[in-house]
Amino acid sequence: MFRIDFNKLRFLVCDDNPHMRRILRTLLHSFGAREVYEAEDGATALEMYSHYAPDIVITDWVMPIFDGLELTQMIRQPEAKGNPFAPIIMLTGHSEKRRVTVARDAGVTEFLAKPISAKALYQRVLNVVANPRPFIKTKNYFGPDRRRTSAANAYIGPERRSGGDAETIHQPSLLDKARVAG
């Protein structure tokens, strides 16, 4: 077993609710994070994303100017400023299967329903650090592989990715940056 050194990771928290931002900041600090940047809307978050180059983005879905889904789509543009591979954890009070699917298809890495718990947040962060998914690039999708199994390429079911041939891009792991010996 290994531990994650949160002190070596930079986070961007985007939520229009100041109480939620404070809860997330407090939880991340309790995990050991020191660099936690905050934005109250998607436009500010995108600007901060380009400036601070966070390792992990945690964003609410519903926000002014543009929402977390639009933020995700802008971050996932391969030609955009910043790292299009950064893990994105989507927060929302609306966790219906349809919404989870829409978020996944936009390039969200992990999904977290509100109200959140410290354990659930820690698990999502641990998952994006320790088990990064390869990225898939087709003519109409760029983002983390939606399927978590090694048999993903053999899938022939009704939700088979469209868009022609898929290029698989293995991203650098955050584990090398954040691993604690022991």
- Average pLDDT of the chain, as a whole number: 85
Biggest CA-to-CA distance, the chain:
45
pLDDT band at 40; cut points 50, 70, 90: very high
Where do we find the tokens 């985007």? 14
What is the pTM (predicted TM-score) of this model?
A: 0.85
Distances (CA, A) of 137 to 131, 165, 171: 19, 8, 12
Please say whether the beta carbons of 113 and 95 come within 8 A: yes
Count up the domains in the chain and report the number. Answer: 1
Distances (CA, A) of 149 to 123, 134, 152, 159, 167: 18, 11, 6, 15, 17
Report the CATH number that the domain containing residue 130 is assigned in CATH. 3.40.50.2300
Structural domain that includes position 84? 3-180
Tokens of 177: 């940056």
* 105 or 146, greater pLDDT: 105
Average pLDDT over residues 105-119: 93
Tokens of 93: 């009070």
